[in-house]
Structure 1
């Protein structure tokens, strides 16, 4: 289950206001931008900007990173083997499938298996 990319989560209240700074920092344009539930998300460089109201962001703030993997099934097996806990998912999301796991030691990580169209943005 190779990790394809790890994204640092950055929680913001206004995606349009936040993006120019990250364009300047990374020298890149967002590779993905999409709505999810009451949120707006954009991937830029090694960051995943997640925008919404405090209320909308609250359930997600405890997640430390987003990790793009080639196989969610392998993540499920790994989490079970090491005594972690699946907090949410697997779910269908705009980029493919995801799940959120709490690992022994307390790290909470979202794992995403991209569908072909989303995976093409990584090239």
Structure 2
């Protein structure tokens, strides 16, 4: 199974206020920036910033990381094989397809299989 990237999730109130600090910390500009429901998201360096109200962030705040993978089908197979639990998905999202998994031991991770446009932002 190929993991292409993993992002630490950072939950913020306002993306425009938070981004300059993370741009300076990483020395990078956001590679992706998009809206999803009531959230605004940006990937900068090894971070995925998720911005919104406390209510909008609440369903996502228990997820520890976002991992970009070659194949979501492989994630589903491994999850089943190891007794993990699918919490949400698979879903179509602005960057491709995702699934959120609770692994044995309690780690909750979102896995995303990027479509071609989003994948080019990783390069």
| Bin of the TM-score, shorter chain as denominator length | over 0.9
Structure 2 gaps, min length 5: none
Equivalent in the alignment of 1:67: 67
Matched, 1:115 2:119: no
Distance 1:5 1:48 in 2: 11
Shift of 1:98: 0.2
Q: CA deviation at 1:35?
A: 0.2
1:40 matched residue in structure 2? 40
SS in 2 for 1:59: coil
Q: TM-score, length-normalised on structure 1?
A: 0.99
Gaps of 5+ in 1: none
Give the deviation of 1:12 after TM superposition: 0.1
Aligned residues: 123
Please state how far the C-alpha of 1:107 moved relative to its aligned partner: 0.3
Deviation by residue 1:77-108 (Cα, 9 ceiling, x = unmatched): 00000000000000000000000000000000
Extract structure 1 runs of 4+ deviating beyond 3 A: none
Deviations 1:39-63 (A, max 9, x none): 0000000000000000000010000
Partner of 1:22: 22
Superposed CA RMSD in Å reads 0.4
SS, match of residue 33 in structure 2: strand
Q: Distance in 1 between matches of 2:20 and 2:64?
A: 23
| TM-score, scaled relative to structure 2 | 0.99
Q: Distance in 2 between matches of 1:63 and 1:27?
A: 26
Q: Give the distance between the partners of 2:60 and 2:71, measured in 1 at CA.
A: 22
SS of equivalent residue, structure 1 residue 121: helix
